[in-house]
Amino acid sequence: MRTNTPALAPDEKINWLASIPYFGVHLMCLWVFYTGARLVDVLVCLALYVIRMWGITAGYHRYFSHRAYKTNRVFQFILAFVGTTATQKGVLWWAAHHRHHHRESDGEKDIHSPIQKGFWWSHMNWILCDKYAETKYDSIKDFARFPELRFLNRFYLLPPIALAVSLYFIGGFSLLIWGFFVSTTLLWHGTFTINSLSHIFGKRRYRTTDTSKNNFLLALITLGEGWHNNHHYHQNTANQGWFWWEVDFSFYSLKVLSWLRIVSDLRLPSDSIKYSYKKYTPEQQAELNAPISFWGAVAARKQAAGDKVREAIATAADHLPTAAPSPTALLKRK
Ligand SMILES: [Zn+2]
Ligand SMILES: [Zn+2]
């Protein structure tokens, strides 16, 4: 899918050398044609997908990025550790960049907006360039004060490597391929859909300044993150599915953990937030339902960029002589 992306700065281009491990993990999946698939391999692959997706949604996202509930320091570390096994860099790196996404969502400064720089940029290219490689500690001071989290953030490759090595020793090469490489590749792209597809496909219930959508299928594969329009409308809630039919497995698990007193103070949306869409005027409602909202936003961005260029040309033209002197006039001057 091309969205006529603007030119990228040098530090926004894919760093192919540094991205070898990323593409290498994808290529390793091809070994499945050699190993075949035992039932246990596929079950472990799926189980590790779900457990690590949970580490990302309940941990990296809802706890570390949004502080949507409270927990003790030991469980906080467990959340960070499980999230780190998902191989999506360190917990502080992830949460700090995510907070930035919410501050700027789909604006010019948004880190991974499909509106601004196209589908592949929002899906993965923003991670593969140098621009966003460092942790923005300023945006995550509240958690950066814990030394154990700083350690995990710095040595974020240790948990995934430990997982891969354990799988090899427990179940041999085929468990390593399915349990780590296939599962991690699926997990990456499952997670990335929230930055790319859920800003493009789905329905909008709430008026937000971005193009976030609610999408049932994406909610299923991300344990509840697909209710992205709800989330962008009010980001600090422990649940992202706000109505009974909006499945949200991460929230169900947090609810159980709250009964066990492992987590507490789950933040929920008030009724005035949840039902605010009922107060929209028919025009506002029609605007929400407009199927072109993503392409409309891309067109608006291109129009705005075009206007800027035209304005610059017009300003420059004002400073030019109205017409170049004709060669005969130049000759006459002699
Ligand atoms: Zn978003
Ligand atoms: Zn968020």
> Is the per-residue pLDDT at 324 higher than 90?
no
Which ligand is nearest to the Cα of residue 195, counting in written order? Answer: 1
Which ligand is nearest to the Cα of residue 105, counting in written order? Answer: 1
User: What are 249-306's pLDDT values in tens digits?
Assistant: 999 999 999 999 999 999 999 999 999 999 999 998 888 877 656 666 777 777 776 6
- Across the range 111-138, mean pLDDT stands at 89
- Tell me how far the alpha carbon of residue 213 lies from the centroid of ligand 1, in angstroms: 9
- Tell me how far the alpha carbon of residue 140 lies from the centroid of ligand 2, in angstroms: 14
- Tell me how far the alpha carbon of residue 92 lies from the centroid of ligand 2, in angstroms: 14
User: What are 12-27's pLDDT values in tens digits?
Assistant: 899 999 999 999 999 9
User: What are 74-123's pLDDT values in tens digits?
Assistant: 999 999 999 999 999 999 999 999 999 888 877 778 888 887 888 898 89
| pTM for the structure as a whole | 0.86
Which ligand is nearest to the Cα of residue 64, counting in written order? Answer: 2
> Is the per-residue pLDDT at 65 higher than 50?
yes
- Tell me how far the alpha carbon of residue 212 lies from the centroid of ligand 1, in angstroms: 6
CA–CA gap between residue 228 and residue 232 (Å, rounded): 6
Between 285 and 44, the higher pLDDT residue? 44
Which ligand is nearest to the Cα of residue 225, counting in written order? Answer: 2
User: What are 232-248's pLDDT values in tens digits?
Assistant: 999 999 999 999 999 99
Which ligand is nearest to the Cα of residue 60, counting in written order? Answer: 2
CA–CA gap between residue 134 and residue 326 (Å, rounded): 58
Q: How many residues does the chain have?
A: 334
Which ligand is nearest to the Cα of residue 236, counting in written order? Answer: 2
Helix boundaries (H) for 109-248: 114-117, 119-120, 126-128, 141-144, 147-154, 158-176, 183-192, 216-221, 228-233
User: What are 223-233's pLDDT values in tens digits?
Assistant: 999 999 999 99
> Is the per-residue pLDDT at 39 higher than 80?
yes
If pLDDT is split at 50, 70 and 90, which confidence band does 1 have? very low
> Is the per-residue pLDDT at 6 higher than 90?
no
For residue 2, the model assigns a pLDDT of 45
- Tell me how far the alpha carbon of residue 59 lies from the centroid of ligand 2, in angstroms: 11
If pLDDT is split at 50, 70 and 90, which confidence band does 327 have? low
Q: What angle do CA 42, 44, 48 make, to 5 degrees?
A: 120
- Tell me how far the alpha carbon of residue 227 lies from the centroid of ligand 1, in angstroms: 10
Percent of the chain past pLDDT 70, that is, above it, reads 87
> Is the per-residue pLDDT at 31 higher than 70?
yes
- Tell me how far the alpha carbon of residue 235 lies from the centroid of ligand 1, in angstroms: 10
Comparing 67-71, 209-213, 255-259, the range with the smallest average pLDDT is 209-213
- Tell me how far the alpha carbon of residue 102 lies from the centroid of ligand 1, in angstroms: 7
- Tell me how far the alpha carbon of residue 186 lies from the centroid of ligand 1, in angstroms: 20
As given in the structure block, the two tokens for residue 15 are 């760093």
Query: 217-253: buried (b, 16+ CB within 10 Å) or exposed (e) per residue?
Result: ebbebbbbbbbbbbbbbbbebbbbbbeeebebbbbeb
Q: Where are the domains of the chain?
A: 10-279, 293-333
